[in-house]
Amino acid sequence: MKDTNNIEPFEIIKKDNELTLKPLIPINVYYGDYYFEDIEKLDFENYSNIIVDLADVTEFDSFLIVFYNKLNKTAEGKNVKINYINASEEQNNLVNVLSKEQKEEKPNKQKKPFFYNYLENIGLKVKTMFSDMYVFIEFTGNLMIALFKFPFKIKELRIKDFAYYFNNAGVNAVPIVILIVFLLGLITGYQGALLLKQFGADRFIADLVGIVIARELGPLMTAILVAGRSGSAYAAEIGTMKVSEEIDALKTMGMDLYQFLIIPRVLAVTIAIPFITILADFAGIVGGLVAAMTALDMTFTGYSNELNRALNYSHLFSGLFKSIIFGFLVSSVGCFRGLQASGGAESVGRFTTAAVVTGVLLIILSDAVFTFLFQVLGI
């Protein structure tokens, strides 16, 4: 942009008690900083009068004010007077307009000490956490009411929306879910094979993979993937609608927000997720079969006979039951976080991330609760 070699920003003329500075290069944002070093080197205290001759300054911008300020500040307390001469009308205009304080109420943001800010932030975080919980409980309550009323208003369900979300959250998620759970079944199978081989318990690989996939990994991974795909998408969609005042428009039109926006999404995911989980369970078990056949030389018949013996309906249905709860949690959290967005794009992004994090957290928490409950109930 600029030649950095041998730039002399000023022509300096010293005469008795008078120092004349003639700027030679543009005083603008691109060249202005060259003046600063030279100004600092000037011995202002040896002069009573400094003349800044602006006659040759043909290129300038608002950096001119920064330049003036620097000279004035350097001269401060040195009993020296600075005179700016030959300033063009344009230069004076620029300084006058940009230095003029426009009428505006002053901001009332006050600077607070760091420690105060630190404590305030902790307080705000805790407050936000509790208010989030409160609002989520309120949202869940409203959603439950809307769901109970739903059978009586089933004609009001926007079938088109429901089909769209079912397709997006369900059908479109199948390939990635199958791939991930197949690989998980394969990995579990190989890891299990290493251990089981030592005890000569090769055939129990089918028990291990079958039960782990059907009860835990199948529903869990499906729900996590749905949280990443659909929970985040719902938060972003609804968040964008919120910041662009579409939600307000819906409200003023007297539309039921839950009926119109939330229920089609929540129902679509909650209904779709057990079907995906069944496919995921199947893919995981096939993954285990591949591991059993390659690592333990097991036959297909041997694996399937053992699986048939080990797996029962309680394993399958406990997994499917959990998946329905996970689907409900993931989709409702996505919608809830979307409704929390306000302001602009940054807020939408923040709440989209929050939707995934909260969704995954709730999945794991509820899984832990169910594992404990099923243990107690002997399921």
Angle between helix 345-377 and helix 218-226 axes, rounded to 10 deg: 160
Residue 53 · residue 86 · CB < 8 Å: yes
Q: Residue 91 CB, nearest distance to other proteins (Å)?
A: 8
Comparing CA positions, the residue from 207, 217, 216, 215 lying closest to residue 182 is: 217
**Alpha carbon distance 298, 196 (integer Å):** 13
Q: What binding mask, one character per residue, do residues 96-115 give for other proteins by CB under 8 A, x or -?
A: xxxxxxxxx-xx-x------
- Point out which residues pair with 12 in neighbouring strands: 21
**Residues of this chain, 156-195, that bind other proteins according to CB under 8 A:** none
- By beta-carbon proximity to other proteins, the closer residue of 38 and 61 is 61
Q: Give one DSSP letter per residue of 43-77, joined into a string.
A: -GGG-SEEEEE-TT---B-THHHHHHHHHHHHHTT
Site for other proteins in 297-316 (CB under 8 A): none
Using the rule CB under 8 A, is 240 a contact of other proteins? Answer: no
Q: Is 58 an interacting residue with respect to other proteins (CB under 8 A)? A: yes
Residue pair 51/81 in contact by the 8 Å Cβ criterion: no
Whole-Å CA distances, 301 to 280, 289, 306, 308: 21, 10, 8, 10
- CA 193 to chain CA mean position, Å: 40
- CB 77, min distance to other proteins, A: 10
Is the Cβ of residue 30 or residue 116 nearer to other proteins in the bound state?
Answer: 30
Q: Single out the residue of 7, 13, 85, 129 in contact with other proteins (rule: CB under 8 A).
A: 85
CB nearer to other proteins: give 30 or 130: 30
> Which residues contact residue 40 at a Cβ distance below 8 angstroms, ignoring those fewer than 6 apart?
74
Residues 318-347 that bind other proteins (CB under 8 A): 343-347
Q: Stretches 15-23, 95-103, 155-163, 192-200: which one binds other proteins (CB under 8 A)?
A: 95-103
Shortest distance in whole angstroms from residue 22 CB to other proteins: 12
Question: Is residue 23 involved in binding other proteins (CB under 8 A)?
Answer: no
Q: Tokens representing 338?
A: 């979307």
- The count of residues interacting with other proteins (CB under 8 A) is 58
For other proteins, the binding residues in 27-56 under the rule CB under 8 A are 28-30, 32-33, 36, 54-56
Residues near other proteins (CB under 8 A) are: 1, 28-30, 32-33, 36, 54-63, 65-66, 68-69, 71-73, 75-76, 81-104, 106-107, 109, 343-347
